[in-house]
Amino acid sequence: MAAQTISSLSSPLQTFSSLRPGVSPSYRFTNFLFYSSLRPSLPFSSVILKPLRAARFRPLAVSAALKNLSESDLVAVPTDPQEVTVNFPSESGVYAVYDNNNDLQFIGISRNIAASVSGHRNSLPELCHYVKVGVVEEPDRSALTQAWKSWMEEHLRTTGNVPPGNQSGNSTWVPARQPATPRKKPDLRLTPGRHVQLTVPLEDLIHRLVKENRVVAFIKGSRSAPLCGFSQRVVGILESQEVDYESVDVLDEEYNYGLRETLKRYSNWPTFPQVFVDGELVGGCDILTSMHEKGELADLLKK
């Protein structure tokens, strides 16, 4: 067996990443002789492992079988989302997330580890401080699952516990389905700010906005923090439709000064929120809710 054990750099407090962009550590994972159909979030059941077979040698990187969990380095998750892809590979494999106390919170598998880490960091910043990475070569489903099982088993052996995030019924760590993007889009602003004088009437800006974007919601507050129950409901409905929409905060006096009055005249509609689809006012919260319940909204958005 050509496996070389990289001298372990990791004490639990190791924070420096040994990964560099473009070079993925080549952890060759060989086949175990058992079948698995479990998803990582299900409770782990005990399985018998067979010994590892010989690993093939790869010229560019050190060849090794998938490192044990305890031998893998802890990599600090950067607070700047741009840096995640610097420290983590966008490869397939298994990963283990640790919080600030170096307690293992969750073991997951991913087709894009950097994206998963980024996603977890965004949604659960208090639990994602370090991650151990095990890239899996030839990552078919069974190889990935086996890698996950080996780490899970090892953790169970050493601590006797299933990580909290992997326990049955725990839905905190929904697998990141999308590549690393901020959870919610920023709201659109109509103007660069009050200090800049408009060369074009606000009505024209509104008109252009609703014509150029398929779905536009004029709401009170931002989409991540609506300031009114009706606006909140509209945001909720649009999010549940998973449609791409633009949101505009009509209460923003800096970037959307004068919007409320102008929009009321433009749409001939006196209240907010207002939702436009394909350049036409669809209505406010009541109408949207009614359409959503009847399924009409989904039809409208599908076209």
Partner 1 sequence: MASRAAIAMLSRAQRIKSNLQSALEASLLEIEDVSHQHASHAAVRASGSDGETHFNVKIVSTKFEGKSLVNRHRMVYDALADELQSGLHALSIVAKTPQEIAKK
Q: Which of 43, 229, 258, 279 binds partner 1 (CB under 8 A)?
A: 229
Do 188 and 247 touch, CB atoms closer than 8 A?
A: yes
Residue 294 makes contact with partner 1 by CB under 8 A? no
Cα 207 to Cα 27, 212, 262, distances in angstroms: 55, 9, 11
Stretch that binds partner 1, among 47-55, 170-178, 227-235, 242-250 (CB under 8 A): 227-235
Question: What is residue 188's DSSP assignment?
Answer: B
Measured from the CB atom, the residue of 255 and 269 that comes closer to partner 1 is: 269
What would you measure as the largest C-alpha separation in the chain, in angstroms?
77
Classified as helix, coil or strand, 64 is strand
Structure tokens at 63: 């060849």
Residue 45 makes contact with partner 1 by CB under 8 A? no
State the Rg of the chain over Cα. 25
272-290 b/e with 16+ CB inside 10 Å = b? Answer: bbbbbbeeebbbbbebbbe
| Cβ 184 to partner 1 shortest distance, Å | 21
Residue 227 makes contact with partner 1 by CB under 8 A? yes
Residue 3 makes contact with partner 1 by CB under 8 A? no
For the chain, the distance separating the N- and C-terminal CA atoms, rounded to the nearest angstrom, is 58
Residue 257 makes contact with partner 1 by CB under 8 A? no
C-alpha 223/C-alpha 186 separation (Å) is: 8
Q: Which of 135, 285, 297, 301 binds partner 1 (CB under 8 A)?
A: 285
Classified as helix, coil or strand, 192 is coil
Do 69 and 152 touch, CB atoms closer than 8 A?
A: no
Residue 258 makes contact with partner 1 by CB under 8 A? no
Measured from the CB atom, the residue of 138 and 254 that comes closer to partner 1 is: 254
| Cβ 76 to partner 1 shortest distance, Å | 40
C-alpha 107/C-alpha 104 separation (Å) is: 8
Q: Which of 253, 261, 286, 293 binds partner 1 (CB under 8 A)?
A: 286
Residue 268 makes contact with partner 1 by CB under 8 A? yes
| Cβ 251 to partner 1 shortest distance, Å | 8
Residue 237 makes contact with partner 1 by CB under 8 A? no
Measured from the CB atom, the residue of 181 and 271 that comes closer to partner 1 is: 271
Structure tokens at 188: 């659109």
| Cβ 193 to partner 1 shortest distance, Å | 22
Stretch that binds partner 1, among 56-64, 111-119, 149-157, 267-275 (CB under 8 A): 267-275
Question: Which residues are at the interface with partner 1 (CB under 8 A)?
Answer: 227-230, 251, 268-271, 281-287, 290-291
